[in-house]
Amino acid sequence: MPQDFRSADFLREHINTTMKFYHPNCIDQQGGFYQFFNDDGHVYDKHTRHLVSSTRFVFNYAMAHIDQPNECYFEQIVRGIAYLEDIHKQSNGGYAWLIEHGVAKDTTNHCYGLAFVLLANAVALKAGLNSALTTIERVWQLLEEKYFLPEHKLYLDEYDGAFHNADPYRGQNANMHMCEALLMCFEATNNNKFLTRAYDLAYTMTVEKAALANGLVWEHYNANWQIDWNYNKDDPKHLFRPWGFQPGHQTEWTKLLLILHRHKSEPWMVSTAKSLFDSALEHAWDKEHGGICYGFAPDNSVCDGDKYFWVQAESFSAAALLALETGENKYWQWYDKIWQYSWEHMIDHTHGAWYRILTQDNRAYSDEKSPAGKTDYHTMGACYEVLRAYTLKEQA
């Protein structure tokens, strides 16, 4: 029986079945959440904790509680925030990137990590955890003092564990997720400083910096925010900093621009969102095997044909938001097409949740469904965003 991927009931049911893969299996009674799962849900590493997963589990539980209030979910929000503050947070105010057996193993201070600390606390605040506001303000001040570069209107990427030395690398990914976090902070607090900063990040990356790369968002820059075309060129499959244009990041920016547009409406946001999405799908859609490939080179050839779960999820969310904003049916066609591919190849209909990564011809690399960093924050978050867009459209 064909699925109605546009149905709110379908989206909510998909969220629920995805959540069941993790809950309550992910809960570590000693604190925090398990972060490494095989396809069948078996936890294959109980002792390693990554800041990205620790924050994203808070997001998952907070979004679930907001959508369908549940005391057990709220308890996990509280536990998750406590783990961030008691275990990840260091005496200098930073948050350890990696925890092993309850002890900080990697204390590198990533802006990307702080973006997710902000996001977790913002959505926790939305869910009713009022104490999260204090952390939001503290992390904002840390970012102002250490990371924000006012002359560029962007954030630098990382410091060492002691905040003594900043890495000269500059990247769009941390700034994109900081934009996402700041939009959530604005919605949670109604404080315009968060919206103003989110606007600056979005305009700088998707208009000013994109103008240096044929209208697309390049990933890597030097200390002066000039494009570094060769960074990781010999490692296009690098997990956090791959070479090439990332179609998933073009469509993720599409989504963020349209969320920004709700709060501060300017015409460039919609036109830029359309351009990023259209280019990404033109160059990265796999006409033979289906799905969106992971990366394409400056000459528009595919440089990484793998299929990642988050790329598909962010892209169907962006397609729906574009369809609702523009009224153009081609975006609904893309939405259905991306969902159909994902339904057939990326989603585990036996155990739940999405497979993390497939080869270009849709074969599994391993039975590791959800290593640290995944948590299906992208997939459930994409569904929630489409549902929210529906609600806002009805209210308009």
Q: Which residues are catalytic?
A: 249, 378
Q: How far apart are CA 73 and CA 79, in angstroms?
A: 10
Which helix H or strand E contains 340, and what residues bound it? Answer: helix 329-341
Measure the CA–CA gap between 114 and 180, rounded to whole angstroms: 12
Which helix or strand (DSSP H or E) is residue 37 part of? strand 37-38
CA distance 191 to 234: 43
Tell me which H or E stretch contains 317. helix 309-326
Judge contact between 326 and 274, C-beta under 8 A. yes
The residues with which 347 forms a beta bridge, in sequence order, are: 354
In angstroms and rounded to an integer, the radius of gyration of the C-alpha atoms of the chain is 20
Q: How far apart are CA 208 and CA 203, in angstroms?
A: 7
* CA–CA dist 236, 69 (Å, integer): 42
Cis bond before residue 371 (omega within 30° of 0): no
